[in-house]
Amino acid sequence: MNTIKSTVIVFVAAVATLLLTSYASAQKSTIPVERKAAFEDTYTIIWNGYSKAYTYTDGTWLRAEPFDYYFDVVQKRYDNEWKSVKSLHRLHPDYNGKAGDRDQTMYFGVTYESLVANKVIGNMYSSLGNGRLTTDHEFRNSIIEIDVKNAGLFTPYNKIRITQKYDYEHGKLTETVLLVKAKGSEETPFMKNEEEAYFYTKGKLDKAPTTFNQPAR
């Protein structure tokens, strides 16, 4: 009887833990929450791309294929504010988990504040941390710096510097994501990701883009 009672207690405790964990997970969101979901008629760009990873070792950039990733970004542009959600996937079988989960979602919000010496100045708020950026009035070339939140003394990097080039006419974005350890005026590179992505925007198709092909038997 005592064995049955103990088993029941363990089972109930496990279910309670599961429910509490599920509730806690439901309260968390990488993306800012909204009370009402609705389709927004704003200018939206979807990126689809691939990133090559490099580590900085003894003054040299070395390829780190296990840290490569595929990614998609949904970017919504408002008057002077952009909101972007990025999903990335590391699929290499040798990935060791040191950069987090294989599948990740990140949020990036930008508010463009002013024009100074022909440069647009803005603020960045993201799920990785907050920062600032400069760009031109057509948003073609941007430099973003993010102070990584909760970066500890032994964290290998505490700042992210993103250099972007929007080649609108060819529908392409190239981006370098540089991770550095900053201490005062000194910076030590840790890792970088070289990203390339192609744009997709709202439009229509003249016909179905793909059709079913009967497999040969």
Full residue range of the structural domain in which residue 166 is found: 43-201
CA distances from 33 to 27, 30, 79 (A): 10, 9, 21
Predicted local confidence at residue 26, as pLDDT: 53
pLDDT, one tens digit per residue, over 126-136 is 999 999 999 99
- CATH at 193: 2.40.128.20
**Is 1 inside any structural domain?**
no
**Is 163 inside any structural domain?**
yes
**Is 36 inside any structural domain?**
no
**Is 153 inside any structural domain?**
yes
Alpha-helical segments (H) within the chain: 2-27
pLDDT, one tens digit per residue, over 80-100 is 999 999 999 999 999 999 999
Count of residues in the chain:
217
Q: Tell whether the torsion through CA atoms of 67, 90, 145 and 44 is positive or negative.
A: positive
CA distances from 64 to 29, 45, 69, 90, 179 (A): 30, 29, 11, 12, 14
Predicted local confidence at residue 30, as pLDDT: 81
**Is 136 inside any structural domain?**
yes
Q: How many domains does the structure of the chain reveal?
A: 1
pTM over 0.85: no
**Is 38 inside any structural domain?**
no
Q: One digit per residue, pLDDT tens: the chain, 217 residues?
A: 556 555 545 455 555 555 555 555 555 778 888 777 767 778 999 999 999 999 999 999 999 999 999 999 999 999 899 999 999 999 999 999 999 999 999 999 999 999 999 999 999 999 999 999 999 999 999 999 999 998 888 889 999 999 999 999 999 999 999 999 999 889 999 999 999 999 999 889 999 989 898 888 8
**Is 125 inside any structural domain?**
yes
Residue 191 has which token pair? 């890792």
How does DSSP assign 112-144, residue by residue? EEEEETTEEEEEEEESSEEEEEEE-TTS-EEEE
Predicted local confidence at residue 136, as pLDDT: 96
**Is 59 inside any structural domain?**
yes
